[in-house]
Structure 1
């Protein structure tokens, strides 16, 4: 499951993500293979949500925990307000909608007009919206960087650009834990989108399995792997419904030290499978718990655009991880604004980590 219409069609950006080099995209796409299973696959979401472990001690807990991303040379939230945000990605200034920014702007109007790209939200034949380039026309793809990792941004018709900067907090923590493990680490990145988390994990020395239902998104991610000069790192690219893949991995006896879970509020898999977060998340978390290795490192869940408190997913995660020891940390991911220092909340998260 990769399509993520929630958060203003976040994952739907995958379906509209076209590359700048068609012949190269076709060659990369040819390397992407669906998951294979020798048995008859069953739909994991049809199974009962049985995750309780009576008598098993619950992990320690930290709530609330606010994980914050501040401005740096790669990315900065310059200002926000009146339903929009003004961002700096490397050399480019980008302006796009942001429903959480209900306050007023801090910077003068001239700063908001001195931009390279703006998402207008026009509904026309080009998709859900349109990018305009006030200064000079920009290509569909453009070079970006995160913490020394080069990758390609893309102006999609659903206002996204191929990276969610708030996730940097999770990526940094994961990379530190992988390096500190001093042993082989297998990472499963579910709903992997354009692959920044997979690249960070691979750079740290992990063996990565990247799962996404959109072949176009995986093609983009594979291209990012080459742009990042990490083509020699072990990343397995799987085009498959994430819920089915996890259930099959359980039957196969496969295990992972780190699992990243970033599901949509609503979405569809490659064969029309329907995902509803509140209905299917409990069994998904339970199945992820079942394929954690004997000495797991982390299970990280992030959710966007849901009408719930982080306490809801905190309780789910803590129950699922009963008997594992460690700690469940839950709260919000925020980006600290440069202009006025306000915190823009982007998502809820809950993660189990080894103490």
Structure 2
């Protein structure tokens, strides 16, 4: 699975409010992703948005005190289950996956064709080399998901940003030093599900409250707000929050009810738990490793159980769903599936888990090709 550079969480007491590991620290839609300069092959800048993740050993040496609380005991029956579930996207709006192979992927983002590393593309490309060679931008350098690299522009130097649109929301694509461009298109399936739930509720006179943890550049938050939700967006990176506000202006949603919170996710949700605040939909997309704005450290395997436990406490009595996406972890989807079921024990409903995949769509965006696995997910929904 891929490793999104996202942010860390902190933990709180049993009665504490919660906040997930924010995509704190790091460059911009991973735990913190960073922005790379886009002139020729200049080295990428280190002023990346919060998804930039420190290496585990660095995090340990610089870690700030972590707020925590015990896990609450759960009783009752486990929720029903649907496994495995494969949620597939073939693209949407200005994005589609053109081709994959030889450890690379060729994607269309608006006017640009981009080549990026893709370790899971073990096969050979379908399209000939001359198609790949016409890419607008190629990510080179450090191919490790946690490392920084740079962009090469075969034909001409490109600007740092360019306009994109997905699900009716306009936003900025940006060449970052961590290979990401400001959106994780495999998440479209979750966003479409959320958008439909928000619109259904709106039609019945109910405004849903959405909490987006590790919100990165805010595309999901803007999709929810445009559909009629009240949104709380949390990310530990000031850079990512700034990018999200730019996207809000581009989408002409300046008056939409969105709270932009720059804070460690765990600290935030623990405080919300203490305050007794609730949300109808919670999206959480934590990094494998991350760091908060004050040095808080997030380790997925250490902190995920508490994060989900707090998120359960934040769900409203008429909650619509809790969605978890996990990247770059050496685990089966069953590990997060069973964790989600234990977390939601006694709450009824259904836990559906599996993988998110993107289907190749060819040069025309319509030619069905191979499926590329991108991440694990687990989603609880009421019965």
TM-score between both structures, scaled by the size of structure 2:
0.81
Please name the residue that 1:255 is paired with: 278
Please name the residue that 1:32 is paired with: none
Structure 1 pair 130–270 and aligned structure 2 pair: CA distance change class (3 A): same
Q: How far apart are residue 162 of structure 1 and its match? A: 0.2
Structure 1 residues 1-355: aligned runs within 5 Å: 1-3=22-24, 10-14=30-34, 16=35, 43-44=66-67, 46-48=68-70, 50-54=71-75, 56-121=76-141, 128-181=148-201, 182=204, 183-339=206-362, 341-355=369-383
Q: Give, in whole Å, the separation in 2 of the partners of 1:289 and 1:78.
A: 39
Q: How far apart are residue 136 of structure 1 and its match? A: 2.0
Whether contact under 8 Å (1:187, 1:258) holds in the other structure is yes
Structure 1 pair 73–180 and aligned structure 2 pair: CA distance change class (3 A): closer
Give the root-mean-square deviation of aligned CA atoms: 2.2
Q: How far apart are residue 73 of structure 1 and its match? A: 4.8
Q: Give, in whole Å, the separation in 2 of the partners of 1:4 and 1:352.
A: 28
Q: Give, in whole Å, the separation in 1 of the partners of 2:381 and 2:198.
A: 12
Q: Give, in whole Å, the separation in 2 of the partners of 1:52 and 1:17.
A: 45
Q: Which has the higher helix share?
A: 1
Q: How far apart are residue 43 of structure 1 and its match? A: 3.9
Q: Give, in whole Å, the separation in 1 of the partners of 2:93 and 2:301.
A: 38
Q: How far apart are residue 5 of structure 1 and its match? A: 7.0
Q: Give, in whole Å, the separation in 1 of the partners of 2:252 and 2:148.
A: 33
Unmatched 5+ stretches in structure 2: 1-21, 39-64, 363-367
Unmatched 5+ stretches in structure 1: 20-41
Q: How far apart are residue 60 of structure 1 and its match? A: 1.4
Whether contact under 8 Å (2:121, 2:372) holds in the other structure is yes
Please name the residue that 1:28 is paired with: none
Q: Which moved more, 1:215-224 or 1:333-342?
A: 333-342
Whether contact under 8 Å (1:51, 1:319) holds in the other structure is no
- RCO higher in structure (CA 8 A, sep ≥6): 2
Structure 1 pair 311–216 and aligned structure 2 pair: CA distance change class (3 A): same
Q: Give, in whole Å, the separation in 1 of the partners of 2:165 and 2:284.
A: 23
SS class of match (1:120): strand
TM-score between both structures, scaled by the size of structure 1:
0.87
Please name the residue that 2:55 is paired with: none
Structure 1 pair 140–332 and aligned structure 2 pair: CA distance change class (3 A): same
Q: Give, in whole Å, the separation in 2 of the partners of 1:47 and 1:350.
A: 23
Whether contact under 8 Å (2:37, 2:175) holds in the other structure is no
